[in-house]
Amino acid sequence: MKPLTLVPTPIGNLKDITLRALDTLKEADVILAEDTRQTKKLLMHYGIETPMTAFHMHNEHKTTEKFMAQMKAGKHIAMVSDAGTPGISDPGFLLIRACIETGIEVEVLPGATAFVPAVVASGLPCDKFVFEGFLPHKKGRQKILESLATEVRSIVFYESPHRLVKSLELMMQFFGEDRRVSVSRELTKMFEEHKRGTLKEVAQHYTETPPRGEIVIVLAGTPEIKAPKKSYAKYIDKEK
């Protein structure tokens, strides 16, 4: 039985794809694509003619069993999202879990993902960080931010351009307007931008200059409160 293979695709620059990923897309029997129109651009660029079928958040519950049956019958299925690694804030989890539970191997190729270059370029500590993905559109946003108020590690969010300013302003309420933040957008593309500063400064910038493109927010963690060092001076016999 052949595995389900997750294939990372470029987050912007079409050159950011591995040779192994291209070979996999060529050799697969079918490609599951979040948006076949978007994936078609990549396949045409590299002359890949493997058939595609749509697999996204609106149909993954209905189609998972069908694709499981195809793999059990010997078909090799490759899965891609619109950009980056499938399953990271993208469809894929349901099918991945179903494969694991039924003994179908899941193969994940290394490759592009948006938050790694954003974290490294932020200038904020990246030895440890928390990935939160997209905040809920409505209910639950404040509860999540409240739960992160004492987080000492850097915090990574994905956000859409039309909600960016609102999210930054909401973060100011929970983390303070002077908390350091880095906003990365259009990663690997011609107009790639990294805006760094305080929450207040960056929110003001994007209020005056509405952003475009996919966005990654990297927020500094709260300063870690360290206990004062104990002093034993009062116990020292000064006559010695």
Our CA angle for 1, 44, 75, nearest 5°, is 10
Residue 5 phi, psi dihedral angles, 5° rounding: -110, 120
166 to each of 14, 33, 135, 213, how far by Cα in Å?
A: 31, 31, 12, 16
Q: Which CATH number fits domain 115-219: 3.40.190.10, 3.40.640.10, 3.40.50.2300, 3.30.950.10?
A: 3.30.950.10
Confidence check: pLDDT of 240 > 50? no
Query: 161-166: long-range contacts (C-beta < 8 A, 24 or more apart)?
Result: 161/185, 161/210, 161/211, 161/212, 161/213, 161/215, 163/137, 164/206, 164/211, 164/215, 164/217, 165/203, 165/206, 165/207
Taking the CA atoms of the chain, what radius of gyration do you get in angstroms? 23
State the average pLDDT over residues 44-62. 93
Percent of the chain with pLDDT over 90: 85
Q: Which two tokens stand for residue 230?
A: 């104990």
CATH fold, domain 4-108, is Cobalt-precorrin-4 Transmethylase; domain 1 (3.40.1010)
Q: How far apart are CA 62 and CA 125, in angstroms?
A: 42
User: Taking the CA of residue 60 as centre, how many other CA atoms within 13 Å lie in the half-sphere pointing to its CB?
Assistant: 19
pLDDT, one tens digit per residue, over 119-132 is 999 999 999 999 99
Q: To 10 degrees, the CA torsion angle through 5, 52, 36, 213?
A: 20
Output the pTM of the full model: 0.86
The pairing of strands 154-159 and 129-134 is parallel
Q: How far apart are CA 42 and CA 22, in angstroms?
A: 10
Q: What is the pLDDT of residue 229?
A: 56
Q: How far apart are CA 115 and CA 123, in angstroms?
A: 13
pLDDT, one tens digit per residue, over 154-192 is 999 999 999 999 999 999 999 999 999 999 999 999 999
Is residue 139 within a helix (H) or strand (E), and if so which, with residue range? none
Domain ranges for the chain, please list them. Answer: 4-108, 115-219
3-state secondary structure of 71: helix
Q: What is the pLDDT of residue 89?
A: 83
State the average pLDDT over residues 12-38. 96
Mean pLDDT of the chain: 92
Q: How far apart are CA 87 and CA 90, in angstroms?
A: 5
In this structure, are residues 109 and 9 in contact, taking their beta carbons and an 8 Å threshold? no
Q: Which two tokens stand for residue 93?
A: 């989890």
Residue linked to tokens 């307007």:
177
Per-residue pLDDT band for 235 (boundaries 50, 70, 90) equals very low
